[in-house]
Structure formats: C-alpha cells, structure tokens
Structure 1
Amino acid sequence: MAAAIRLFFFFLSTFPAALSSRGDVLELGDADFDYLATEHETMLVKFYAPWCGHCKKLSPEFDRAASRLKGIVQLAKVDCTAHSETCGRFGVSGYPTLKIFRSGKDSAPYDGPRTADGISQYMKKQTGPDSVLLRTHSDLQTFISHYEPSVVGVFSGEDSARLSEFLKAAALLREQFRFAHTTDLRLGAEHGVQSESVLLFRSPRLSSKFEDSVVVFSDHLTISSLRRFIRDHIHGLCPHMTTENRERLRVRDLLTVYYDLDYHLNPRVSNYWRNRVMKVVSQYSGRGLTFSVANKKDFLSELEDDFGLGTEDGGDLPFVTVRTKLGHKFTMREEFTRDGQSLARFLDDYFAGRLKRYVKSEPAPERNSAPVKVVVAETFDDIINDGDKDAVILFYSPSCPHCKKLEPVFRELANKLVSDPNIVIAKMNAVDNDVPLAYDVPGFPTIYFAPMGRKDEPIRYEGGRELKDLLKFVKTSRSRMADASRDEL
C-alpha cells in the first residue's frame, strides 16, 4: 500500500504541465506528453511560443473550439520554449504548428481553418474510424443520405487485399472525403455492382437528371488510383463551390454561376437555377472548361474586387464569371435568361475567343510625360510588354508608407536614366489594377526588371533602397540578360 502511494505521488510530481491545465485545453510537456496523449483517440495539439504574435491571435479561437469540442475531441497545447524536446521530436520549426494525434501517434498536420467554428467543424470530421463499417442496407442508406458526397468500398471479406488498400487510402484522405466499407457484396448489388468495387455517391442535394448520382470505380485499387478517381468524379458536372473547396475547383479553368444559393434554407430555389445551368453546360463538357454554382453572398468581396460586380448586378438573377487557371477573367454582361440561351451564347463566344477579358484597371492618365511612367492594367502591354525596351516597374500601394519613402529615390533613378532610349522606368498601383501573371507581388513596394524580348521572365529586385542599389540592379540585370542572349547564340 505504501509503495502504491509513493508511486502515485511520483506520477503527480512528474506531470506538472497537465495538472496546470486551464479551461478545456490540456497543457502538455516533455514529462507527460506520451503518457497523456495515448489516452485520447483523437487530439489536436497546438505547439506554440508565448512571444509569437500568430499564437496569441489563435489562442482565444483555440480555447473556444476546445469548449465546443469537449467530450468529442481533446485539444491540447505545448509551450515549445519550455518543452523543446517534445517539439523537436515532432519536427516543429515554426509557430503555431498544429498536429492531429490519434492514440498518441502523430497522424497528420492540421491544415484547416483557424477560427473556433472552423476548428470545431474540421475536427468533428476527424472523430471515429477512417472508414465506417456498414453491415446492413439501412446502414448504407443512412451513410449516403448526407449533405456531403460519400465513398463506399464493397468487398468480399475482411481479408480482402483491396479492402486493406482502401483503408489505407481512407486514413490518408479522410480529411477531404467521407469513407465507409462493407464486406457484404449484396449491398453493392443494390447499385448494379456484383464484385469488389468502390462506389462514389454524389451528394443527394445535388441530384440531377443530367448526371449519374453514383459512379463506380472498378480498376486496380491503389491509394493513387483511388485518389485520382475521387478527384475526377466527386464534384460532378456542376458542383457547389464554397469558400472551403474553391481552391480545389480552381486548379482548372472554371465557370461559376452566382445566385442566392442556400441548400440549408432554400434547396428548391437552389436547384431550380442549378438545373438550368446543368441543362446548358452539359452540352459543353469535355472542352476544357469546368463548371460550378455558388452563393453570391459568400463571394461578394471577391466579386467586387476581382470582377467589378456588386450586389445590384443581376438583381435576383444569376450572374456568371469565368476564371482560368492562368488568371484570365471574363464576365457575362447579358442578363441571365431562364431558358439558358444567354449562358449558351456566352459559352459559344468564350470558346470562339470572342470575349474580351475583364481587367481591373484605373483609367489611363491623359498625360504621361514624366520620367516615371504611370502604368495601369489596360496600358501594361503597351508600355511594358510590347515595347522594344528594358523596363523597371515598381508595384506599390497608395497607402504604403514604405512606398512613399521610396518614391523620391525611384524618381531619381528615372531622372538618371531618362536619356537612355532603351529603358523605361514605370510604376503601377497594384491595389487598384490587376497585376500581370508573370509578376508575383508578395508585398509593397515590389520592383522588377523586365528585359526586352523576355518580358515573361522578369527579375525581382531584393536589394537595398538607395539610388546606388537600384542603379547597380539595373546594370547587373542588363548585363546578365546580354550574357544569356550570347549563350543562346
């Protein structure tokens, strides 16, 4: 008995971090991480440093999420300034780093939202098994009658090699998709499948006569082939684009129809317009353009900033945009007609190359004779790209204090080079004008050298902000491009 008491107090003194837990977030450290992490089937751990500004911003959201997830998923944190051994063991190199643990093992990085709502929703999807075992027809119907699509594997028995591979894929992809499996082939027969297969059930809310609700995968099953199959088919012909899935959809050229879409509160109206879109776009599938519908309220700021569209555009009718993977943008200016003919005309013009790209641009200045030329999006090609001159272009923000400080220096540069007929010095407001695709502007100010004949290969400047630094940059950039041209000869 005495030995047991001594052992208890030994453990008590060994776990100070956990016992100092405040609220619903468990505090872990070097001494107790392994011991306590194994007690939780699913745990989200925040590795942080007390001095980190991003960590401080995340902290209240993380605490609120922990309260909402109490009894569902445990949230924990590790102070890496005090417990460097644990942080080093899990490869923490920046703060905050969030990782998902399952029964004490590092399972996956957390790459979801960093708000209380986002963390809660994301982590709820992490609970339970990677793939749900379905035993009956009722189990299957319950699983596929869900707001999101479902991936269901049908196998002949628990010792199936294909089942083993399916479960590995589910473990890797569970953050993106819902998985279930059965070892009763009769459940597959209900959907026309007689042998081992994977069935992809599209969301019931997006059911349409213009496409199949179930797609069958029966090829050789590997993690890669299953991932590719899901990626290519899960969205269907015209998915519902949201702020969560938009980046996955935009890896291809994408047409989006925006309207008052709400599958929770008004599914009938939501599908009324989507079916009209589907009827038209089904005739254009396979031509390199993908399609989607979206709630315009979710994308108002983006539509205003990127396409110049406001709440009054289209009224109650949908409006349409195209955004290519290269960043080219088009808008349908004709009113959306209920018979879909306006959308069809828009698509015909798009594929025929008759549409004019939408470019966010300030008006071109009436006079532009100063040594520093003012460039707007609509004049970028004329001044920078189409001329037979080298160019130095400054991208700035009107409200940026660093840009204002640099302005007289940049003007000096232009005055120094004004007599050189083979170079143009220019500036562009990168907030109110679309920046060309070849130019990455991570912050302000950003300066590029665009060599004549190679305007698609601009060189970004990363040196000091004195006149001598800028002059040296121009000289070395011109010399480098001249050497490259000689090498090609």
Structure 2
Amino acid sequence: MELRICHKSQLIFNAVTILSLLISSVSSNTNAGAINHVLTLDHHNFSQAASDNDFLVVQFYAPCEKMHRLMCEYVEKLAPEFEKAASLLSDHDPPIVLAKIDGSADDNKELADQFDVTGYPTIVVLKNGVTGFNYYAGPRKADGIVTTLKRLIRHPSTEIKNVTHAMSLIDGDRISVVGMFPIFSGEAFENFTLVANELMFELWDYDFFHTMDAGSLLPRGDELYITIPSLRFFKPYDELFDESENFQVRDMKDFIIESSIPLVSDKNTPDKIMSWLSQLSAEQVTLYVDFECEDFKSFKFNLQNVAAQYKGKGLWFYLADPRIDHEDVFKYDGLRLDQLPVIFIYNNYGSRYMKSNLKPEDILPWINEYKDGKLKPYLRSQPIPETNNEPLKVVVADSLQDMVLNSQKNVLLDIDVPSCGRFRDFAPFIPEVAVFFVDDDDIMVARLDGTTNDIPKDIFDISDCDTLYFRSANGTLISYDGNATKEDIITFIVNNRLKYFLHQLAESVTLDG
C-alpha cells in the first residue's frame, strides 16, 4: 500500500514539474515576443542614434537606489507611459523615436552634463542631430506625450487658408498666436517662425498660425487688409485678444508672455502661466472670498477693475475660495474662515499685508494705501496665552513688543525655527536656563515658535540661523554664538546683564558728578 501511495505521489510530482516547465516555456516565449519600443542608449551608441534619427526624444533617468524616494516615484511613473507612447508612435511618419539613458552611470556622466541634466527624469528633444536640443515640458501620460510630440515634429506654425480652416484651428478655449503677413518671407516672418519654434517647446499647449488674409478669416479683431506684419494673440479670457506690430524676437516673446497673464488668475489658470507669475518681480495680491456668497460677483468685478488699473504696475492678482483652493496657504498665513472676505499681499521683501471682513468697495482704496506705503505689515501670530506662569515664558508675534522689545527686563529670547535645527543644539537647555533664573525679577527667559509666528526681519536676522538673542533692559540686542551648554548660556546672560548694570552705574555717576 505504501509503495502505491509513493508511486502516485511520484506521478503527481512529475506531472506538476512538466506542467511548470510548459508554463515557463510559454511565458518565456511570450516575453521574448514582446517588443521594447524605447531604445536603450549610452555613451557608446548615442551619437549614432542622434545621427540616424531626425527627431529623437531622450529620457535621462536613474535607478531608484541612486535617488530620493520622491524622485524615484516620478521615474517609475513615467517609465510605462514613455514605453506606451513609443509603441503608439512606432509607425509614425516621419519617425518619432523615443530612447532612454541612465544618466547616473559613470560612463554616461559626460552625456548628462552635455544636456545640463540636474535631476531625473529629464526629457530632451533633438531635431536633426545633436547641434541643438530643447527640454520637453509637456504631459507625462502616454496620450499627452503622443499628442505633444506629433505637434512638435510639425512646422512650428500652420498656415490658415480659408474660413473653415480658421474655425477648425482657432479654438475658443485655447490660446492661439497668429502672425499676419503680406508675404511669407522677410525678417518679420523669419523671426515669427523662430519664436514659434522656440516657444512651442515651452508652451506646448499653445497653437501658432500664420495667414495673409486676416480680414475675412480671423474670428476676433478688426478686419484689415494686411500691408505690414502684425501679430494677434487670441485667449479665452479678459479682452479675448491682443495685437502687436513688433517682430523683434525678444519683444515678441515678451508680448506673448504678457498677453498670456490674466488680469486675475484663479485655480483654473494653466500651470505654465502660474509658473511665469511666480517668477515675476511683481507682488501677489490674493482675494479670498466665498464663491457662493451673494456679493461674489461684485467682488470679482471690482477686483478685475482694480487689476486693470494696476496692470504693468508691479502687482498680479489671484482670486481664491479657501474652502476649495489655497486652503493650506490660507491656514499657514494664520487666517480663518470667519475673517472672509480677506485681501492679502505678499511683497518682495517677505512682508505681508492683510485686511479682513472686506467689502467690494474696499479693494481699490486699500490697494492705493498699500502702494502709497500707508499700511503696516501683518504679522501672523498665535493667540496670546491666557496664562503664562511657567519659568519658560511663551512669546507670540502679538506679544513680542510688550514682552521683549519694550520690556524693562533683561530677556533671553529663543526663536524656535525647525529649519535651523542642526544649529540649535542648545535648545534642550533653554527650559533649564529658565528655571535657573526663575527667582530673578530682572531676567526673563522666553521662547517664540517661528513656525506659527512671523518674525520681524528688520529686528531679528535669522537668515544665518541666529535664533538665540539677549535683549538688555536698555534695549541692546545681541545674538548668542557661544557653546551649546547650559553653563555657557547662563554665563552669557550674567555677563551681558552686568554690562547693562555697569552702563547704568556709569550714567548715574556721570549725572551725579
């Protein structure tokens, strides 16, 4: 009986083994049949690939073990989308070839440096060899990659030939740039083509067109017979179109960027435009308002009018409902929903200005007062504690003047700034220092939370992580740069208090004399 059981077990084992081998063989054959449409390049074959392909799209990547976890996620998410896009484009005519290079490999470092690769993934587009390239700034999903690359391989501008053509090309929901020319030659046309070719890589969702017949073809703007080159910029917001007759390369780029920027931006403003806005030297004005309140239309109308008055005068405007947009920023700035509507300005020097419980008609006068320098900066502050009886006192922005800057005591103030953590080895000793001086009526030790309270930058310079200060009773402010020990901090306080005492004594003797 035992032999028969053993025999059956052996038969089962053999059958399972054979089946496993068959499955492995099928799987192996299937994988062998899979086509990898993304070329793998390195320093050996890159130049040849660039020479052989007139339109080559190269993704520089790095293995996850060589990157921060967050960067790794970007590379991992892009890889299958990039492969899918390569597959969808494999039959495109003219060819669009996608490739990848491990930019972190030592042998490929020179290649990565050649294209100024500073992070991963970085995608570059090469046209007609390696003499020139552009960074790819478009979508990272397969369908978006395909659509964008098909656009990038075309001539940068499409000719508008008739009304039907114009209506099908100029989409009322997109941005279109149209060059109008009496003839398709000359410096203006060449500069327009140059700018269109450069900007199409940055503004991958803009459309560029050219025409000889603006009067009957274009949907907006004056009907005109083209005698000199003109540029018309169509947009689905504000005044709907802008015009220029300046075809100098730099001026054309500036015109396109400036025309792109809405009078008032919101959460629907394209990311590229928001990126431009963040790079401007202009200061941001944000109006926080409940989009469902009965005065919303008045607020929006008044803000649009103010934005139009201040266009080109160093301000840009943003409209947000903090319940659905900018919620984190709203809270970080110490604002509350019961303060709505709120208007808020970030200036170029790091200061903030705020007015809460606003009315629509308050917007213009308040902005005028800001521009005239009549407003005081807003300091974000925690509430002043109702009780403050511990040896280590709590200071907030709203109590800083009374408790520290105008105090009649000698005050050691510790400003807790997490980003300066590695320079704050002394921090654990501050409560012990407070206990040491608890019975000394002339000395107070306090701490201010720098994450939830704004710090007056004109008084405390924490840019170099000087976060521990002694303010003597006569108003002298000194930063601590000694050793991170309790004893050294106590000595620092005693010595500086003694200096104040001796100074007072000298003044007293002078007066008595």
Same fold (TM over 0.5): yes
Report the counterpart of residue 328 of structure 1 in structure 2: 351
Q: How does 1:16-35 map to 2 (within 5 A)?
A: 26-35=39-48
CA distance in 1, matches of 2:296, 2:162: 30
CA distance in 1, matches of 2:398, 2:183: 64
Alignment match of 1:52 (pick from 67, 72, 79): 67
Contact 1:395 1:447 in 2 (8 A): no
- Compared with structure 1, are the counterparts of its residues 181 and 120 closer, same or farther at alpha carbon in structure 2 (3 Å cutoff)? closer
- Compared with structure 1, are the counterparts of its residues 87 and 402 closer, same or farther at alpha carbon in structure 2 (3 Å cutoff)? same
Alignment match of 1:246 (pick from 247, 270, 274): 274
Report the counterpart of residue 396 of structure 1 in structure 2: 417
Alignment match of 2:108 (pick from 84, 97, 115): 84
Report the counterpart of residue 359 of structure 1 in structure 2: 379
CA distance in 2, matches of 1:108, 1:451: 54
CA distance in 2, matches of 1:272, 1:137: 42
Report the 3-state secondary structure (helix = DSSP H, G, I; strand = E; otherwise coil) of the residue aligned with 1:99: strand
Contact 2:346 2:353 in 1 (8 A): yes
- Higher gyration radius (CA): 2
Alignment match of 2:259 (pick from 233, 240, 245): 233
Report the counterpart of residue 55 of structure 2 in structure 1: 41
Shift of 1:301: 1.6
- Compared with structure 1, are the counterparts of its residues 199 and 376 closer, same or farther at alpha carbon in structure 2 (3 Å cutoff)? same
Alignment match of 2:466 (pick from 422, 426, 447): 447
Counterpart residue type for residue 324 of structure 1: N
Name whichever structure is richer in helix by fraction.
Answer: 2
Moved more, 228-237 or 85-94: 85-94
Contact 2:176 2:209 in 1 (8 A): no
CA distance in 2, matches of 1:349, 1:343: 10
Shift of 1:309: 3.7
- Compared with structure 1, are the counterparts of its residues 372 and 107 closer, same or farther at alpha carbon in structure 2 (3 Å cutoff)? farther
- Compared with structure 1, are the counterparts of its residues 167 and 470 closer, same or farther at alpha carbon in structure 2 (3 Å cutoff)? farther
Report the 3-state secondary structure (helix = DSSP H, G, I; strand = E; otherwise coil) of the residue aligned with 2:256: helix
Report the 3-state secondary structure (helix = DSSP H, G, I; strand = E; otherwise coil) of the residue aligned with 1:432: coil
Counterpart residue type for residue 210 of structure 2: T
Report the counterpart of residue 175 of structure 2 in structure 1: 149
CA distance in 1, matches of 2:147, 2:411: 50
Whether 2:317 is the aligned partner of 1:291: answer yes
Report the counterpart of residue 255 of structure 1 in structure 2: 285
CA distance in 2, matches of 1:171, 1:401: 48
Report the 3-state secondary structure (helix = DSSP H, G, I; strand = E; otherwise coil) of the residue aligned with 1:127: helix
Report the 3-state secondary structure (helix = DSSP H, G, I; strand = E; otherwise coil) of the residue aligned with 2:76: helix
CA distance in 1, matches of 2:244, 2:480: 47
Shift of 1:284: 5.5
Report the counterpart of residue 169 of structure 1 in structure 2: 195
Shift of 1:467: 7.9
CA distance in 1, matches of 2:54, 2:484: 53
CA distance in 1, matches of 2:191, 2:431: 63
Report the 3-state secondary structure (helix = DSSP H, G, I; strand = E; otherwise coil) of the residue aligned with 1:157: coil
Moved more, 37-46 or 152-161: 37-46
CA distance in 2, matches of 1:381, 1:175: 52
Shift of 1:98: 1.0
Alignment match of 2:453 (pick from 426, 433, 440): 433
Whether 2:125 is the aligned partner of 1:101: answer yes
CA distance in 2, matches of 1:366, 1:147: 55
Report the counterpart of residue 200 of structure 1 in structure 2: 233
Alignment match of 2:249 (pick from 202, 222, 226): 222
Counterpart residue type for residue 46 of structure 1: F
Report the counterpart of residue 133 of structure 1 in structure 2: 158
Report the 3-state secondary structure (helix = DSSP H, G, I; strand = E; otherwise coil) of the residue aligned with 1:145: coil
Report the 3-state secondary structure (helix = DSSP H, G, I; strand = E; otherwise coil) of the residue aligned with 1:248: helix
Structure 1 residues 341-390: Cα deviation after superposition (integer angstroms, max 9, x where no partner): 35445546655666564432123457889997754333556778889999
Report the 3-state secondary structure (helix = DSSP H, G, I; strand = E; otherwise coil) of the residue aligned with 2:329: helix
Contact 1:65 1:119 in 2 (8 A): no
Whether 2:361 is the aligned partner of 1:341: answer yes
Instruction: Give the fraction of aligned pairs with identical amino acids, expressed as a percent.
Output: 18
Contact 1:47 1:97 in 2 (8 A): yes
Counterpart residue type for residue 427 of structure 2: E
Task: Show structure 1 runs of 5+ residues with no match.
Answer: 1-18, 263-268, 453-457, 475-489
CA distance in 2, matches of 1:271, 1:278: 11
CA distance in 1, matches of 2:455, 2:149: 39
Moved more, 160-169 or 124-133: 124-133
- Compared with structure 1, are the counterparts of its residues 239 and 143 closer, same or farther at alpha carbon in structure 2 (3 Å cutoff)? farther
Contact 1:307 1:331 in 2 (8 A): no
CA distance in 2, matches of 1:325, 1:33: 45
Contact 2:175 2:207 in 1 (8 A): no
Q: How does 1:275-286 map to 2 (within 5 A)?
A: 275=301, 277-279=303-305, 281-282=307-308
Structure 1 residues 191-224: Cα deviation after superposition (integer angstroms, max 9, x where no partner): 54641122222x22x14xxxx432222235132x
Contact 1:258 1:320 in 2 (8 A): yes
Report the counterpart of residue 305 of structure 1 in structure 2: 332
